[in-house]
Chains A and B, each alone.
Chain A
Amino acid sequence: MEFAGAAQAEPGASRPLTFVLCTLPSDSHMWNLVAMQLLIEEMGHTVRNLGACSPVALVLQECRAEPPDCVVVSTVNGLGGIDAARLITALRAEPELAGLPVVIGGSLGVHGEADADPSAELRDLGYDGVFPVGASAERALTRFRAFVAARAERVR
């Protein structure tokens, strides 16, 4: 699977970006954060990994103190569909963070493939990209990787 293909990215081709990697306050899962950190780092970028159950206040504080190029929210406990609003609402309420790219991905509902696609709703809330695992983690990660590559291209 091509999750690991990012190692072939050319870190020298563009300036390394800084990512704040976090999850939602209710989400205690960790392996997704460990893996996403490696994925982004192996594309040549820098990650500040806030760990499990990231409080909204901590994400705000990290973004204010040293604004990253992008915030990545990775969540797999199935409550993303109902717990994702408070983070994006808080980030968008800060004038200096209103334009910060924020994306979310993972398992966003408790019914797996039977869940309705929450993408439109999450975009309406203010997320700039939504990467639901749904039927295929591979597709979500390929899309995410393309998103990172495009961000890197933009700030080149």
Chain B
Amino acid sequence: MTVEHAPFSVFVAARRRAGTLIVQPRMGFGDPAVMRAGLLAVRAAGVPAVGTVTLDSFTRQGEHERAAMARAAGLDLNGYPLVAEGARGTARMLAGIAGPGFPLQVRHGSPRPERIFRTMLAAGVEATEGGPVSYCLPYSRVPLRESVRAWSRATRLLARQADRGVRCHLETFGGCMLGQLCPPALLVAISVLECAFFAEHGITSMSASYAQQTCPEQDVEALAALRLLCAEFLPGVDWHVVLYTFMGLYPRSPEGAEELLRQSARLAVRTGTERLIVKTVAEAHRIPTIQENVEALRVAHRTAVAAGAEVAAGAADAAGAAGASDDAGAAAADAAKTTVRDTEVYQQARTLIETVLSLAPTVARALPAAFEQGLLDVPYCLHPDNRNESRCAIGPDGRLEWCDVGRMPLAGAARGRAAVGLRSLLADLEFHRRRLDPYPSTFGSGR
């Protein structure tokens, strides 16, 4: 194919060369007019941004008629009902918005995404996200094997678009799982395994995700491990890393919410992460407005620019001290890789990935087998196909640590602890509220 249409991957590659962090909202509205206004506002925000169309819960569950009925009755949905609006309606909603400087991504949450992908492609969008594990276990009760089958078909559909010159981009949601209280090694492992699943089905442009957790140092190690493992396990693939601002119970105060967002932007810059998906000051309370989304993008961008200047100054100092030769640079890179390989998160993640891949000749067959045998086990996840024997908690230094690894091959990783009770679970879930809200007090709405 001579002409390649790949606005999302081209945009990311250009920004990576320029060294600027891409910021992206999680925005989605039920009313197409509001959805369009939101995308236009993000495009006009004056920051390097990707536009997001987040879908509503009915669409996520495949209940398109219910989404349409709610719309017809004038009820508010918690996202854009893509399939109910259809390819034609969506193309109209999106008309003239996307371009080389402003690619779009559809975010959905579906364990059976084929119909969503078809509609999205017909409406002219080629970038989306999810994964057979990450959109099954935490968000549905669809059997994992069924989700894997559905994702196999849907991922092949995206890969086949190359035949008409369209290179689809697919982001794994594996770095999030339940949003909080999942040790980084498991997030990194699932992220890499879902990317390997995408590659196995012919996807050549993808992103590996990781959600900010509770300890900046641990997050730096996790993001470094994720990069190195992507390099090791995804040969011949164009990949980048996307960081999600904390996905759990979010600070309720505007100042606490903004500080956590700033910390995630600094984390992204410090780790060479290409893209950041932000949270807003309204996160703990309700679905954010367009203006709140735009403001969050601007805060993240400003913070990233300032952090980038600091990192550059630090690097220049270090290079000056080291004599700044190419040899010194290469030696420093090797040393950095060795350091990453020494971290607990890299070693645990690598063990999990290798154990899973050894179960079957394909990732598609290995993933359900791994969960069945408890070799992957997401703490607290109630999905019937997750053993739910593992447990974790936040340690005294703020690091997420295993209390019980269940049947996962992580012998010796668990710190001995009493069973997790309601009081300690809530304290851990509210970690960032306790840390950043001026008057942290109550267990709030569960968003």
Contacts and interface: CB of A to CB of B under 8 A. Distances in A.
Given A38-B422, A52-B140, A79-B58, 5 more contacts: A4-B422, A6-B422, A25-B63, A26-B58, A110-B76
A31 interface: yes
Interface stretch (A65-73, A96-104, A119-127, A133-141): A133-141
Contacts of B426: 1, 3-4, 35
A114 interface: yes
Given A28-B140, A52-B138, A53-B61, A112 B285 contact: yes
B45 interface: no
A38 B286 contact: no
B371 interface: no
B141 interface: yes
A31 B181 CA distance: 10
Nearest to B446: A76
A33 B429 CA distance: 13
A31 B429 contact: yes
A117 interface: no
Given A3-B443, A52-B138, A114-B286, A28 B57 contact: yes
A4 to B, nearest CB: 4
B60 interface: yes
Main secondary structure of the interface of B (DSSP, over half): loop
A80 to B, nearest CB: 11
A111 interface: yes
A112 B422 contact: no
Top-8 shortest CB links A-B:
A112-B286, A4-B423, A76-B446, A51-B382, A38-B422, A28-B139, A112-B285, A32-B446
B13 interface: no
B445 interface: yes
B429 A35 contact: yes
B75 A136 contact: no
A77 interface: yes
A55 B442 CA distance: 30
A106 B446 contact: yes
Contacts of A136: 442
12 contacts: A28-B60, A30-B138, A31-B178, A35-B425, A38-B425, A51-B141, A53-B61, A54-B141, A79-B57, A110-B286, A113-B285, A113-B286
Contacts of A54: 141
Contacts of A82: 70, 75
Given A33-B382, A38-B422, A110-B287, A77 B141 contact: no
